């Protein structure tokens, strides 16, 4: 890449370049944490929502 040394380039692929199996494995390993967070947000709303200066203002 022009203007970017090799040292500064990402060591691992990002986004769509990541292997599908890697994404699926990460989702499976972290599913319980994501489900727990989603349940918390549904019950209590987003933390610090009252301080948001953008968005739809659904919280607070």
Question: pTM for the complete prediction?
Answer: 0.50
d(CA 52, CA 60): 9
Whether 59 is in a domain gets the answer no
Number of domains in the chain: 1
Whether 9 is in a domain gets the answer no
Whether 58 is in a domain gets the answer no
Whether 2 is in a domain gets the answer no
- Per residue in 23-51, pLDDT (tens digit) is 999 999 999 999 999 999 999 999 999 99
The three-state secondary structure class of 57 is coil
Q: Are 50 and 59 in contact (CB under 8 A)?
A: yes
pLDDT-derived band at 20, boundaries 50, 70, 90: confident
pLDDT-above-90 percentage for the chain: 47
Q: Which domain holds residue 39?
A: 19-43
């Amino acid at each position: 890449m022009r203007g970017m040394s090799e040292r500064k380039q990402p060591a691992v692929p990002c986004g769509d370049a990541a292997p599908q199996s890697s994404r699926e494995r990460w989702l499976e390993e972290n599913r319980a944490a994501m489900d727990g967070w989603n349940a918390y947000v549904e019950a209590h709303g987003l933390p610090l929502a009252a301080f948001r200066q953008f968005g739809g203002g659904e919280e607070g």
